[in-house]
Homo-oligomer: A and B are copies of this chain.
Amino acid sequence: MDLGRGLRLRNPLLVASGTFGYGVEYADVVDIERLGAICCKGTTLRPRQGNRPPRVTETPAGMLNSIGLQNPGVDAVLERYAAQWAGWRVPVIVNVAGESIEDYVQVVRKLDLVPGIAGVELNISCPNVGKGGLQFAIDQDAAAAVTRAVRRATELPLIVKLSPNVADIRPIAVAIADAGADALSAINTLSGMALRRDRSGPFLGNTYGGLSGPAIKPVALRIVYEVAQVVGIPIIAIGGVTGLDDVLDFLAAGAVAVQVGTAIFADPTLPVRLVDELTAECGRRGLASYRPLVGTALPGRTGAASSRGVEYRP
């Protein structure tokens, strides 16, 4: 599968940013070389300590996290991991975050041409200091601007990650595609929260956290389905994958690849097992590749995407 600019994955099962560290942490128990790709933890220009603990808690069929982009900064990430990554067969995609367009551009410039970096995934669910703290991801102009700037700064394959915390994802997805992204990934977490047991305040040190896991799968599926009908670039689905049925659902909704996140915590071997299960499923159906499974649930070319906003009526 080609995600653009030569980012070829041997299979469509990736591990999601923030849930698989830098690929080394699970190496004892996972044959990471068998993964389609690894998206590493969000990387910023300067080191970040992240949010105050506690940072994770479980919710019904999901979890909240508020890591706050803790990472040693792009220089340290490259120093510690790039050489190792360069020796791996599995491509490593660096997830990049920032608070200004300049941040993103600088990080990506540093990644450009470094052996071991197979691509970039922009996490744009970050407050944009230039726009008074509004996230890049919720504003189509800001999303397009950061994509365009990064596009100019690198020849690396460029994936932009969509946030579900918007009223209508389609114009944003289109703007990002038009601005030169090679692929889209969707979705990042939903904004949520939990309280302390004694209800004296928020449980998470950062008050708010991102909701992930099976609970959000219906939302992720909806977004992939919507986006697949309005953009021409590949979509990588993320959100609540825990088994082959979820993978097949996301493919049918128009994704060409899938990332596994939260489910790794319960079952680190899941992503690799899904590689085998998907192959077996294709075999059962007499398919040489999983590509015919992509988009089967999408409306035909004629019944194209609606542009009337979110049509859902309760």
Binding site for B on A (CB under 8 A): 18, 42, 51, 59-62, 64-69, 97, 123, 125-127, 132-135, 138, 165-168, 188-196, 199-202, 206-211, 213-219, 221-222, 225, 240, 248-249, 252-253, 293, 296-297, 299, 306, 308-314
Contacts and interface: CB of A to CB of B under 8 A. Distances in A.
Given A60-B61, A60-B217, A191-B219, 5 more contacts: A69-B314, A193-B222, A199-B248, A199-B249, A202-B225
A287 to B, nearest CB: 13
A199 to B, nearest CB: 4
A55 B214 CA distance: 21
22 contacts: A18-B314, A60-B214, A61-B62, A61-B214, A62-B215, A64-B218, A125-B312, A127-B309, A133-B309, A135-B309, A167-B167, A188-B314, A190-B219, A191-B310, A193-B253, A194-B221, A195-B252, A195-B297, A206-B311, A208-B311, A209-B218, A209-B312
Contact of A132 (B66, B193, B308): B308
B191 A312 contact: yes
A297 B195 CA distance: 7
Contacts of A209: 218, 312
A97 B313 CA distance: 10
Contact of A297 (B167, B190, B199): B199
